[in-house]
Amino acid sequence: MRNDRTTGTGPDEVTLGRIETEVALLMRLGEATRRGTGTMEHRLLDRAAYVILRHLDSAGPQNVSALAAKLNLDGSTVTRQVSAMQRDGLIARTPDPADGRGTVISPTPAGLQRMAAVQAARTRLYGDILAAWSPDDRDSLAELLHRLNQALESRSRPR
């Protein structure tokens, strides 16, 4: 008899296949939902600007290198995104107190205001989507998504 792990049809592989499918659908449907939502708040920021502002709001001012490392992105990608955000008045650059040659990026009041509007709109949207779920189910989903994100983040860090 062959080991189920080598056939790819054991219970664990079936479950992992379901997880892979559901995560792929989650990403596709999440983006489609964001794009298809009719409210203006959802369109105040693109996804990259929202993620950068959320991180800066929680972690404080950072240089581009630290920001790129935290977001697992190439420094040149973050530099382009940050430049666009600066042109839009969403972030400000100030001299880095630890390295006078560099700069740190921090959100502006306008950037924080837009981020808060998008966050509130998304929270309302998920409240509507999950209205029929029990509070315990919502708590479980939040905890499991947090654990998944932690595992993904630790996997993406350089070894």
- Residue-range domain boundaries for the chain: 1-36, 42-156
Taking Cα atoms as reference points, which of 135, 144, 85 lies closest to residue 111? 85
Span 131-145, mean pLDDT?
97
| Per-residue confidence (pLDDT) for residue 4, from 0 to 100 | 46
Q: Indicate the pLDDT class of residue 82, thresholds 50, 70 and 90.
A: very high
Which pTM value belongs to this model?
A: 0.80
pLDDT tens per residue, range 89-111: 999 999 888 877 888 999 999 99
Per-residue pLDDT for 56 more than 90?
Answer: yes
| Per-residue confidence (pLDDT) for residue 24, from 0 to 100 | 92
Helix axes 47-59, 75-87, angle to 10 degrees: 90
Mean pLDDT, the chain, integer: 87
Q: How many Å apart are CA 22 and CA 16, to the nearest integer? A: 10
Span 120-140, mean pLDDT?
94
% residues pLDDT > 70 (the chain) = 88
Fold type of domain 42-156 = Arc Repressor Mutant, subunit A (1.10.10)
Per-residue pLDDT for 3 more than 50?
Answer: no
Q: What angle do CA 74, 59, 63 make, to 5 degrees?
A: 45
Q: Indicate the pLDDT class of residue 151, thresholds 50, 70 and 90.
A: very high
